[in-house]
Structure formats: structure tokens, C-alpha cells
Amino acid sequence: MRCAVLDDFQDAATRFADWSPVADRVEVTAFRDHLATEDELAARLADFDIVVTLRERVPFRAALLERLPRLKLLVASGMRNSAIDFAAAERRGITVCGTASSSAPPVELTWALLLGLARGLVQEHTALRAGGPWQSTVGADLYGRRLGVLGLGRIGTRVAAIARAFGMEVSAWSRNLTPERAGAADVRLAGSLEELLETSDFLTVHLKLSDRTRGLLGAPELARMKPTAYLVNTSRAAIVDQDALLGALRGERLAGAAVDVHDAEPLPA
């Protein structure tokens, strides 16, 4: 059997994964380049029985699945993937499964990005390498500021706990967040999304992508945020309208943003 690992930009599949249990039965090929079109995917994957896809970078819709006659197993990183047509896969007898994941890495990355924003690390690093100007930014304190957590699941709860260690006030909101769950996490429940946006000094997004959350933060929502506020998104790009976010940043209606997810990945050169 042949297994393809897609979008392995960092050679993680060969450097960190243990394939020894299936080494005598499965030939694994990891692709470092990104295949952007259905034709490219169909041509590259036609001879593979197993495909491993990362996040939602590659859409596996019915039209593509029909062009992969050998495909029997589609493995997605994580347990949710809105880019896979599950009904079409079932019709073709393709098993779809996900992998276990840890909440620790996205929590740590969220705080790396948030601290970098607050202290202007990117701007200062860029200026230093370019020969100046020296110390052109003024950092934003975290102590006493309010962190807004949009989505209080496993990741959001751990992000909130770290915020309290910095002496921050923490509020959270999502459509299904109850006072009991917020209280258990020692977090204040915002009365509405609008309230969360208007009162947060830092806003971090930790929602699952669904029809209800796609485009949740558009131009009207971003306009409710303080011009001194910062936005962090390590969840899914489609939750935040990218054009609206760029407009808010260019118009200086937001102090800054840090994102780990983009509408198109990898980003065009």
C-alpha cells in the first residue's frame, strides 16, 4: 500500500513520526510542496491508497474523491475538518479518521504571538536588522488589561489560566458558553459578542470553524474593538474576514494583529 502525506513543509512526517509498525506494509511518501488545484491533486494522488492531510489546507470534495480510485483511507490531523466531504467519502467507501491532538502547542503559540504583539518584537527586530530606528515602539502592559477569549474550550480555558498569571482580567464569549462553564474556569462571561469586542484590550480566537462561525468577525465586528486593541487568531482563518482585518490595520483602527492561519496556505511569495 502507498501513503501520501501532504503539505509536510517541515519534514515532520519523516523526522518525528514512527512508521515502524506499518513499515513492512506501507510505503510512505511525504510531499513538501503545496498542491493548489484539483488537477494537481488528482494527478499526484491517483496511485495512493492512503492520504494524510494537515488541517484544512486541501479540500477533499466529491469531484476530487471521484478521481482517486485507489483511495481507501483519508487521515486528517485533528478530529474536525470542514474541508472534507464526508458524505462523498462514505459513498465511495473511503474511511475518514482523525488524529489525537494536544491543546498545549496552540496555547503556547497564542501567548508567544500575544506577547510579541504587546512588546512590538517584530517591529523592533526588523528595525534592528535594518539599522534603525532604535526603540521606535512602546510596549503595552498586560497587567490589569482585559483579555477577551472567543471560545472557551480546552485551548481557550488554558489561555485564560495563563492570562490570570499575568494579572489580566479575563472575559469570554461563545454562543453556547454558559455561566456555569465560565465560572468553573474563573472567567467572566461577556453578555454578548459585541460586549466582548468593545471591552477587550486583547482578543484571542479559539472557536471551531462551522457555518455559524465562518466570517464571524467582519468589518462591523472589528469596528467595535478599541483602536488600542490587539487581535490574535490561531484557530481558523475563515472565522476572521481577512480583508476586513487588513483594512482595520491599515486604517489604524486596531493596534495590531497576529495570525497563525491564512485563507491560502502557504502564503504566496
Question: Is the pLDDT score of 13 beyond 90?
Answer: no
**CB 232 within 8 Å of CB 259:** yes
| Residue 114 and residue 88 share a domain | no
Structural domain that includes position 188: 104-259
Q: Which of these three, 98, 118, 148, is where a domain ends? A: 98
Structural domain includes residue 145: yes
pLDDT digits (tens, 9 = 90+) for 237-246: 999 999 999 9
Give the CA distances from residue 268 to residues 36, 53, 122, 123, 262, in Å, rounded to whole numbers and listed in that order.
Answer: 11, 20, 20, 22, 11
- Final residue of a structural domain among 98, 127, 149: 98
Same domain, 69 and 112: no
User: At residue 127, what is the residue type?
Assistant: A
252 and 155, same domain (yes or no): yes
232-267 burial, b if ≥16 CB within 10 A, otherwise e?
Answer: bbbbbbbbbbeebbeebeeeeebbbbbbebeeeeee
Identify the three-state secondary structure at position 261: coil
The set of cell numbers assigned to 86 is 464526508
pLDDT digits (tens, 9 = 90+) for 98-111: 988 788 899 999 99
pTM score, two decimals?
A: 0.84
Across 123-127, 171-175, 211-215, least confident range:
123-127
Are residues 117 and 232 part of one domain? yes
Same-domain check for residues 27 and 147 = no
Are 82 and 163 found together in one domain?
no
